[in-house]
Amino acid sequence: MANLWDKLIGHAAQREMLRNAIAKGRLAHTFLFIGPSGIGKRMFAKAVAQSLLCERHTDTDLDACGECSGCKQVAAASHPDFFQVGLPKDKRELPIALFAGDEERRGKEGLCHDLSLKPMAGRRKIAIIDDADCFNLESANCLLKTLEEPPPKSLLFLIGTTADAQLPTIRSRCQVLQFAPLTNGQVIEILLREELVEDPLHAEAVASLCDGSVQTATELLDPEIRSLREAIYSTLAADDRKRFDQALQIVEQVEAGSDTAAQRRAAAWATRFVVEFYRESLLILNADDPPAATKESPIARFLARFTNRSLDDTDLVGDLLERAFLADLHLESNMSAKLCVEGLLNDLALIERRRMEAVR
């Protein structure tokens, strides 16, 4: 079975930092890995766990043979001293049961209980807590004692997206380690290696849209997501008379989700594509030497309205982009997915219409 480091692409600086901390005897008990979803933070944590539970390497090597019993068990998530918890399916918060057991067994089961026991086979106990953005007060308070008084020979990795998304009580007791998005070249390498795309050109096209996240790249391969992107771009490029009918079609796509989670996923993609459209438009408007664009592309059709490329034009696109960012905040505050997208598209049309009328 392969060494997990061999599968991981990127984040060499973070690995070297941990190796140095181990060599100096300064390895923290709890780490908070921060960075966009889908860039390999969880795999990195699992590779560290494999290294520290490898039977053929010392801790200071921070490497794994991939062949011993310890390595194989970590890779298969069956090692008695290695634990992983994350957001249960169809849940929006990490429940206390993950950390303290069900009500009938409260305090006698769960991650905190498991970590309090002595290692059974390895040199230490290691846990990965995925979806750390989703702690509620109850589950966070349950974990707090473990963070304040870490059991001997225990190591925790919390996986989150931003420091601001963490509860202060959790964040203040962790060593934060920032992870950057992958480069386009690294995403392309992963897509081709995992045979998620048929050829390098397809991989390059997807990588250019995914902001360094393999998770986002994988979702962009979904025909429904691609269809939604095309609909968004077509709507934003259309003249005002066609805008309303196309906006309704997009709202219907958001409603087509079979449950709330699916609807919110579609709404998140819709707002993401709006941001992407106006951000690229703004870059072209402000460029001294704007890139050549296909005349039939949606962005080219949109920019054709701005013949003068004036400061007012830039302000207009900036206002449209700002409204799209606001839609992201509305989604995060649990606004209805349908209302969020419907309100966004109606407001975009209104902003553009008012600005155009003011110029006349």
Query: pLDDT (tens digit, 0 to 9) for every residue of the chain, 360 residues total?
Result: 589 999 999 999 999 999 999 999 999 999 999 999 999 999 999 999 999 999 999 999 999 999 999 999 999 999 999 999 999 987 889 999 999 988 888 878 999 999 999 999 889 999 999 999 999 999 999 999 999 999 999 999 999 999 988 999 999 999 999 999 999 999 999 999 999 998 999 999 899 888 899 999 998 998 888 888 888 888 888 866 566 666 667 777 777 766 677 788 888 888 999 998 998 888 888 776 655 554 568 888 888 887 777 788 888 899 999 999 999 888 888 888 888 888 898 888 888 888 766 665
Residue 158: phi and psi, rounded to 5, are -100, 135
State how far the Cα of 272 lies from the Cα of 233, in Å rounded to an integer: 11
Q: Which CATH class is domain 4-178?
A: alpha beta
Q: Which whole-number Å values give the CA distances from 217 to 97, 130, 201, 202, 294, in the listed order?
A: 33, 20, 14, 11, 24
Q: Which whole-number Å values give the CA distances from 166 to 4, 92, 160, 192, in the listed order?
A: 28, 14, 8, 34
In contact, 170 and 135? CB cutoff 8 Å: yes
Q: Which whole-number Å values give the CA distances from 254 to 199, 231, 262, 302, in the listed order?
A: 31, 12, 8, 24
- Spatial CA neighbour of 277 closest among 219, 320, 217: 320
In contact, 7 and 71? CB cutoff 8 Å: no
Q: Say if pTM beats, i.e. exceeds, 0.85.
A: no
In contact, 116 and 126? CB cutoff 8 Å: no
The alpha helices in the chain, defined as continuous H runs, are: 4-7, 12-23, 41-53, 69-75, 97-100, 111-116, 137-148, 168-171, 184-193, 200-207, 214-220, 223-237, 240-255, 260-286, 298-303, 311-332, 337-359
Where in the chain is CATH 3.40.50.300? 4-178
Residue 313: phi and psi, rounded to 5, are -65, -45
